Amino acid sequence: MAAVEERYGEALLEIAVQEKREKQYLEEVKVLRNLFDENPALLTFYTNPKITQSEKEKVTEKCFKDGLSPEIAGLITVLIRNGRASSILKVLEWFTDAIKEKLNIGVVYVESATEISDRKKKEIEKKLLETTTFSSLEMNYDIKPEIIGGLRIRIKDRIVDNSIRTKLQNMSNELRQIRI
């Protein structure tokens, strides 16, 4: 049996594909996820059992009527009506992952010891596009001084670790193996 997020996310995905509005829905869901991230009280409101379903639906219509497509606002309403408001973020996350896969968008995480220049970022993205099957990439950069130098790149479950820290650890392990 499919999880709640998969069932509801799959329904929204099917609508997006049928209407050829995948990119639009992806952008709307990103905005919605950011709204929930920046306003945790909103999710608390939706999951509060003391607030009636009717009140939650009124707030949903008032808040999202103009900013979201009726299908995405409707998804929030259906989740509320079915007592699944606590799954809103999981449904949005499932949908985001599924639509990115459908659109062949790779999500890349790059760690470096220091800030990477814009020119270098473009080089990294170009090289990754050439060496993967993705049509576009969503690049995420993070500074991790503990890697000392080099880069650590992760796409899904694949990691390319070219950091100085890892190289030093590997050398240290090799030296420990040597018996004199």
pLDDT digits (tens, 9 = 90+) for 12-70: 999 999 999 999 999 999 999 999 999 999 999 999 999 999 999 998 888 887 888 99
**Residue 74 burial class via C-beta count within 10 angstroms: exposed 0-12, middle 13-18, buried 19 and up:** middle
Which positions ≥6 away from 3 have C-beta within 8 Å? Answer: 90
**In this predicted structure, what is the pLDDT of residue 2?**
66
Sole residue written with tokens 């009506």: 81
Q: Is the pLDDT of residue 1 over 60?
A: no
Question: Average pLDDT over the chain, rounded to whole?
Answer: 91
Taking residue 123's Cβ as centre, other Cβ atoms within 10 Å add up to 12
Q: Where are the domains of the chain?
A: 4-101, 105-177
Beta bridge mates, 109:
140, 154
| CATH number of this structure's domain 4-101, picked from the four choices 1.10.520.20, 1.10.760.10, 1.25.40.10, 1.20.950.20 | 1.10.520.20
How far, in Å, CA of 124 to CA of 162, rounded? 13
Residue 176, Cβ neighbours under 10 Å: how many? 8
Work out whether the CA dihedral 146, 147, 151, 152 comes out positive or negative: negative
pLDDT for 131:
92
Q: What is the pTM of this model?
A: 0.79
